[in-house]
Structure 1
């Protein structure tokens, strides 16, 4: 009997599609011999298909072909309403992610997918990578942790070619031309060979940077396909890049990257996923924001081209041990790694011995969600909470008081079919509790404010309180 295929819906940008590659790889391993069909944008998958897992790509224009099949599993990791519409239309034994029901109402299936949706405008303390959030409802964390990603390749010391990817999906996520000029000049002064890279949208920027250098430099911005870009990457020691789709392609194909994480991006969510890549981000309290509240992101001003040149030289010359001795005022240097089976960012540059409140809260919420979604045991969650409880007792006392208040609000509203959930947000204005408030509101909305959804919220709040004892 022929096995029913698996349908994955990913209709976002190039970087989102590449961050879906790990999910596709895990599905291949968990369901051997099962056909995997991916609905994506043709302008992205045409070039990327040969570089990723062996799946079948189709576009939304093939709608009837998609609807004619019956699927064992549908996973919608797209944020677009078109994706939810499609997920609700196909015949499937199981659906994970957003879908529209027969009355055109939006629902989300899967704890991790619901959590991912709760991060919109509320991702301050999230430390789960998008690649894993795509998968954890169907792929056990043990399978994720068992995947051995190869370290980025090392080229001979005589190779001094450094890629500079100039662009990003939004201007506020990338440096300005003068920064790139200063960086390239610094590399040239240290005997490096910078190569300017970018898509068609970066062609003008590439020309401005090349002119500003006042000396010959290889400018390939807007002149290569994705396949050619991947081939060029095989000849580079490292690529310096903002958070952008080609950064994910570079990491996937083994090219070491230095991610300049600036503007409204969070490297925990969308930094290079594979091990051994470097991330520089601002140490400003608003780093990792969903959307910048300033007209021009202030974090971009903390990046120093000279410091970055020094960092690159140490990496190229295989002297990474020196990175811990370097200082980056206003910045944090991290390297992608693995911790307790999942993605993690290890701090490299020296910092305070004791964790900040934000770092302690990051680890606390990481433990909360893993425990609540049955990806770890209570002991591991308590270990994650211990640093917060011990180092910040006054904060924890206030959090407990607010959580008790939240429990009262939920208990008072429980069972009201016309509930709105706004009271939850009003009763807790503490940013450190925003992760559970945002998730709780989605539980209520996703459950049509039924009594069972209020009970689910109460269970979550009680578990959080138990960790703060």
Structure 2
């Protein structure tokens, strides 16, 4: 019996964003296992009922050091005894590198240990390089992880096409970082625009128990008819309840959150607000027919752990009356500046986002970088831009040369496979 293990120790949304890789492995192995943080085991079993899920203490709050050690030791022993044919280790962290040492180094795809040294594969190092210029990020995270396996399943097979479920509007109150979320007054105006544009359906507020106050603040800005149609479920849903609610909605209004990825997994239409450090070309909703509203100012996307020197200027377009007209489905004489409206679709590489309005000055560079990445992972479909949206028959050779030098290093082809996997210091960030 052929068995594979996926080690995904990140958070809610990342579990779901591993789906294309997992579906690929399910078609190639008799048994697929998934290792996640213990707190996310219920979610992983809900999303992937066909997998054998293992929980370990990867995040904080898992118990005392002695308890964590005892539980981890037992789990590590079980994993080591499974004799996996392939191990897909997806996160750049000390724990992931340590876990990889449980297995034969030749069976590990992704981050590994060889002779006591951390090894970062070329594919991951390419991603480290392109994240130096996040504005031209060429690949969604779902597709990045999928290409740890060769020839992954078609992108269109991952999630259902977005379709209304009849349950009205869902509103995710906030994301993990406040700068990536709309403040109550701005969010309320956006919800009202969608409410009026869709005939006044039911509204369901979604969030954690800590966001109950935020729900009350939001509803203070609602009109009377909206308040009458609103139900607050903040702090009242586990993963199963959340999936049941989200799966019935007509649309989910949300920042970049795990619930957004859950909606895409279920085929619920998403209207996602991306601003500050959130960048749809990296972590936008995966599937056909989702809408993304991306804030575009000179410093987008930023680093969320640094103070904003421009008073979150990327927030302003979301309060613009012209944007609210668009949300309500009304014709606008002009579109707001510093905002791009996009819809999700597929090309030969994976998901991409087609602009409906707004000017993205980085688009030509992003398309060319995507072509270079496509030549690396699926060369048979990437010749001369075949199968890639927006590629021109007239190629900019100077741009190709510049981006080629940016993405690739001489060591990528001058060294043998073993040498290539020992990273240059300049390629790899510090340990998490």
Counterpart of 1:150 (choices 149, 160, 166) is 160
Q: Which runs of 5+ in 2 are unaligned?
A: 57-71, 424-432
| Cα deviation, residue 93, structure 1 | 4.5
TM-score (norm 2): 0.80
Q: Distance in 2 between matches of 1:366 and 1:163?
A: 33
Secondary structure of 1:67's partner?
helix
**Residue number in structure 1 paired with 2:346:** 338
Q: Distance in 2 between matches of 1:246 and 1:131?
A: 15
| Cα deviation, residue 298, structure 1 | 2.0
**Residue number in structure 1 paired with 2:409:** 440
TM-score (norm 1): 0.74
**Residue number in structure 1 paired with 2:317:** 302
Q: Spell out the pairing of 1:105-254 with structure 2 (5 A cutoff).
A: 105-109=117-121, 111-140=122-151, 143-145=153-155, 147=157, 149-155=159-165, 161-187=168-194, 191-213=200-222, 215=224, 216=227, 217-254=230-267
Q: Distance in 2 between matches of 1:441 and 1:307?
A: 49
**Residue number in structure 2 paired with 1:268:** 281
| Cα deviation, residue 214, structure 1 | 7.1
Q: Distance in 2 between matches of 1:85 and 1:452?
A: 17
Q: Distance in 2 between matches of 1:388 and 1:361?
A: 12
- Taking structure 1 as reference, are residues 54 and 451 closer, same or farther at Cα in structure 2, changes over 3 Å only? closer
Q: Spell out the pairing of 1:277-296 with structure 2 (5 A cutoff).
A: 277-289=290-302, 291=304, 294-295=308-309, 296=311
Contact 1:166 1:197 in 2 (8 A): yes
| Cα deviation, residue 447, structure 1 | 8.6
When the two chains are superposed, the root-mean-square deviation of aligned CA atoms in Å is: 3.6
C-alpha distance after superposition, 1:155-188 (max 9, x if no partner) = 45xx6x2111011121111111221233344455
Q: Which runs of 4+ in 1 moved over 6 A?
A: 322-326, 382-389, 446-454
Number of equivalent positions? 398
| Cα deviation, residue 139, structure 1 | 3.5
Which has the larger helix fraction? 1
Secondary structure of 1:70's partner?
coil
Q: Distance in 1 between matches of 2:335 and 2:84?
A: 53
**Higher RCO structure, 1 or 2 (CA under 8 Å, sep 6+):** 2
C-alpha distance after superposition, 1:284-332 (max 9, x if no partner) = 2433445567344321222137555544544xxxxxxx88997343211
Structure with greater Cα Rg: 1
**Residue number in structure 2 paired with 1:83:** 96
- Taking structure 1 as reference, are residues 152 and 140 closer, same or farther at Cα in structure 2, changes over 3 Å only? same
Contact 1:124 1:289 in 2 (8 A): no
Q: Distance in 1 between matches of 2:332 and 2:221?
A: 33
**Residue number in structure 2 paired with 1:467:** none
C-alpha distance after superposition, 1:133-161 (max 9, x if no partner) = 112131305x32562743112345xx6x2
Q: Distance in 2 between matches of 1:173 and 1:388?
A: 34
| Cα deviation, residue 11, structure 1 | 0.3
